Structure 1
Amino acid sequence: MAERQRAHRQVLARVALFAIGATSGVQLANFTVTGLSVVCLLLAPGFLLMMHRGIDLLPAVLAVAGSLSFVASCAVNGVTVLWPNAIAFPAFLLYLVGLTVLTVRAVDATATVLAGIATGTMAFFLTQGIELTRTGSIPDLWKYGIAHAVTILVLFGMTTARIQPLLQSAVLVALGLASLGLNFRSHALVCLLAGAIVFTRHMLGSRIGRGWQFLGVAVFGLVFAQVMPIAARAGLFGAALQQKTLEQDATNLPLLLAGRTEPPLNITAILERPFLGWGSAFNLTPDVYARAQHLAIRMGFDPTFPFELYWRLPPSDYSATHSILLGSWVEGGILAVLLPLWLLVACVGVVWNSTSFGRWSPLVVTLALQGIWDLLYAPWTYNMIPEFVCITLFFCAVRVRRPMVAVRDSS
């Protein structure tokens, strides 16, 4: 009887965690403030009652430093401190404090909250969405809205149902191929790499060192980067991807830029004001744009490339830099880049120690790989901040234990 009551309480606790995560579907202020923010604010006092190690407090300190750096940059450059990219840092701090109290840094609890956040993301995009997802097009809804959330929910459901990692890796490959057909290459790459890592770690275990395993996965990624454009140009994944691939081929973009046009602009802006930044990317001067174009051409861009079309966005668009890592430096200054850099290290650490998460490994690896891509090549998007907090909690959880020792799942 006591065992049954304990199991019943665990189920109720999981449901409550999931429901709390799902409150993130209520939008209160762009991508930074949601219903989950309110819950985290109410839980914040509990953070002071918990024990913390240095590794636990470091991201909070970096979030504070980034917030102060943005305040100074906004003041110097005449930008409102309510600029969404500036609010992202205090929002991260609030989510970190609240979710730490909620999950007590337990892996299974964090995974459950993450699934709730993914549900909130789907609810937001299916009921409200953004301009890019309100076109009535399924590929647009998938690419700009729900692809990542669907992937998280599928992996969470399979893990909860105790589905074997090999089958989860096959599902990741299937999701990757589906995203190729829906013109979402970055998500396809994340799913295929995650599937390859899960498959390799499950099949080889400790028989081959992690370094060699990841080298093999890296080779797979490079082969994919070469073969995928050939297949796309042949129309094997649909007309939309074929057209986009042909358009990007014409620009001669280096592979390192991953199809993004903004890095030359970001690098030029950083070199111009490396310490305090610009407050907002819309403060960049014509001279900066001109020097960025010269740099882009030296990097391999065609001189006839329409830079103005890609770089000059409406003043209400906060995604001009299209990189959390470089964009934070451009707008907030050098202190603002420290948190994204730490998050990048956390993502890599989570992937490297993936076996430490036991049955949650496929979910955690996929989340961390998506985090790496987003930090390098994406702007802040809806519910991305609490997801990075979940990565932080996963990273801190595994740092408590020796590498290669599975994290205990209390479920």
Structure 2
Amino acid sequence: MNISRNKSNIKMVLYSLLSAAQVSFVGTLIMSEVYAGLNSLNFGRIGQLYRNNPDVKRVHRAMFIFLVVQMLSDVINHNSMNNMLRGWAAIAVSLVIFTFMFRMFDDTPRIIIAFMCAEVVRMILFGNTDLEQDTSSLMEDYSLFKFRIAPITNYIILLITFYTYNKRKDMLTVAILMVYGLANVGLDYRSNGLFFLFGGLIIHFRRVLMHMTLARKIGLTIFVGIVFQILYMFYVHAVLSGEFGGKHAGDQLSETGNPYNPFSLIGQGRGEFFVAIEAVKDAPWLGHGSWATDEDNHYRSLMFKDLDKDKSRVLALNNSGVIPSHSVLLGAWVYGGVIAFLCMFYIFWLSLKRAFSLMMDERAMETPYYPLIVLFTVQLLWIFPFSPLPHIRSTLPLMIAFIITIYHSLQNDEEDEEEDLLPDNG
């Protein structure tokens, strides 16, 4: 078992480090993706995965259907060959990475520690090579912390809380998450800060939540909503007065119609989400095709409709390209139509179903992986609706494979895996 674990650790470390190397082939191909493909081409092992973890087959089936309907959409939309191949390759690569991650965690969930350590080293040496082109340019104007430092410190905090929770230092674990979350909000990375703040609160109240009746949960939800709104109003006032936050937060809030309404802020900060809805309305059944071009900047112009005409035209031209979506769910619908959306929504629903089950499972609470489960769950709730489609080949395979593997390990009570899930007694 130790030899098998060591091999899995080495494979996971190599996968992480190879993410720093990229080649131009049907878009951008990362060498870690090639490595994942070479380690996934074992149909006997995949069959074993299906028997051990039926959800692997469900995820595979959904991704495969997504690929087929995307091909159909591209052919019917007479998409360019380059865009076709880029779209198909992205889905195929994500399917490969899902398979690789499921295989690795099936050996032992503990290799996520080796992966996070390797990620810290890789990003320190080579930077965050997963940056998208549009976000990399923002670093010059906004937060170095958000794009360079936070990806490293996130993993460091997760590693620290893994060990503090493993040693049953629950209050210290919660304190670390809460302090780090507040620091992120202050350093202009609001969404990341909220992930850790909500994660810390869930871990602190986990046993209370587990035994709550439905009526009490509804009451608690209303109470939390009121408290959140009050704290949010204080936050907005502090940012607008220059006492807290950074340039990005200040610019967003000043351009929001009603900055004290958090939904208005989401609408301003994730305008692509609502533009994608308009694109879906125009082609609901088969979508617009892979990397669909925004002809005459029609959809991007909608993002800037509240600005004066000259500024709106300039911003639309400077941001020309594909139809904007900034959502895994809506991005799949825009590219591949309603069936593609349903495939992604099914994976989203399946992942959350397993994740919520773990969050309320007393056995899961006893494992040192519980803080990771909680943080990954909170992030999934944001990534699927509000993050770009390429996340299906970057962050989502890791989170989904980890959550589903832990779930089935606890369900099956397999001796080797159960031993790996137990905390240290020290």
Residue deviations 1:29-76, cap 9 Å, x none?
Answer: 589632321222122233433241542211111111112222222232
Alignment partners' CA distance in 1, 2:232 and 2:376: 20
SS at match of 1:33: strand
Pick closer, same or farther for the CA change 1:42–1:224 going to 2, 3 Å: farther
Distance (whole Å) between structure 1 residues aligned to residue 227 and residue 88 of structure 2: 37
User: For the residues of structure 1 that align with 2:121 and 2:141, how far apart are their CA atoms?
Assistant: 18
Are residue 185 (structure 1) and residue 190 (structure 2) matched?
A: yes
2:247 aligned with 1:240, yes or no? yes
Unaligned runs of 5+ in 1: 1-5
- String of CA shifts for 1:109-163, please: whole Å, max 9, x gaps: 3454355456545554257966654787696333234524431332124314635
> Is 2:67 aligned against 1:73?
no
In the alignment, the residues of structure 2 paired with residue 281 and residue 91 of structure 1 have an alpha-carbon distance, to the nearest angstrom, of 16
Distance 2:318 2:292 in 1: 8
Q: Cα gap change, 1:184/1:270 in structure 2, threshold over 3 Å: closer, same or farther? A: same
**What letter matches 1:113 in structure 2?**
F
Matched, 1:48 2:44: yes
- Is 1:169–1:362's contact at 8 Å kept on the other side of the alignment? no
Q: Deviations over 1:218-269 (max 9, x none)?
A: 6655555444323322323244155224323247763563721123321111
Letter in 1 for 2:247: A
CA RMSD of aligned residues (A): 4.0
Q: 1:195 to 1:83 in 2, by over 3 A?
A: farther
Q: Secondary structure at the match of 1:243?
A: helix
Aligned to 1:3: none
> Deviation string for 1:168-207 (max 9, x for gaps)?
22222222222222222111221211121112216x3745
1:364 Cα shift? Answer: 2.3
Aligned residue in 1 for 2:238 = 231
- Give the structure 2 partner of residue 144 of structure 1: 147
Q: In 2 relative to 1, CA 206–250 (structure 1 residues): closer, same or farther, beyond 3 Å?
A: closer
Alignment check: 8 A CA contact 2:328 2:388 kept: yes
Contact 1:105 1:397 in 2 (8 A): no
Q: Which residue of structure 2 aligns with residue 273 of structure 1?
A: 283
Give the corresponding residue for 1:361. 370
1:127–1:63 Cα change, 3 Å: closer
Q: Distance in 2 between matches of 1:309 and 1:322?
A: 21
- What TM-score do you get using the length of structure 2 for normalisation? 0.76
Residue 326 of structure 1, CA deviation: 0.8
Q: Assess if the C-alpha contact under 8 Å between 2:239 and 2:249 holds in 1.
A: yes
Paired residues for 1:290-301 under 5 Å: 293=302
Query: What CA distance in whole angstroms lies between the structure 2 residues aligned with 1:212 and 1:387?
Result: 30
Asked if 1:249 is matched to 2:256, the reply is: yes
Render the CA deviation track for 1:62-109: whole Å, top value 9, x for unaligned. Answer: 111112222222232323345655533111100112222223164323
SS of match in other structure, 1:26: coil
Residue identity opposite 1:176 in structure 2 = G
Aligned with 1:345 (options 331, 335, 349)? 349
The one of 199, 212, 218 equivalent to 2:204 is 199
Q: For the Cα contact (< 8 Å) 1:181–1:241, is it kept in 2?
A: no
Paired residue secondary structure (2:243): coil
SS in structure 1 at match of 2:22? strand
Q: 1-side partners of 2:101 and 2:58: how far apart?
A: 16
The one-letter code sitting in structure 2 at the alignment partner of 1:108 is R
**Counterpart selection for 1:376 from 360, 382, 385:** 385
Distance in 2 (CA, whole Å) between partners of 1:319 and 1:224 is 35
Counterpart contact for 1:39–1:98, Cα < 8 Å:
no
Q: TM-score by structure 1 length?
A: 0.78
Q: Partner letter of residue 201 of structure 1?
A: R
In the alignment, the residues of structure 1 paired with residue 129 and residue 307 of structure 2 have an alpha-carbon distance, to the nearest angstrom, of 42
Partner of residue 93, structure 1? 95
Which piece of structure 1 moves more, 24-33 or 93-102?
24-33
Query: How far apart in 2 are the matches of 1:128 and 1:111?
Result: 20
Give how far 1:402 is off: 6.9
Is 1:396 the counterpart of 2:409 in the alignment?
A: no
Q: Once the two structures are superposed, what CA deviation does each residue of 1:271-311 show, in whole Å capped at 9, x if it has no partner?
A: 11112111256534559649x84xx89xxx84758655665
Q: Percent identity?
A: 17
Give distance in 1, aligned partners of 2:4 and 2:142.
Answer: 38
Query: Which segment drifts farther, 88-97 or 274-283?
Result: 274-283
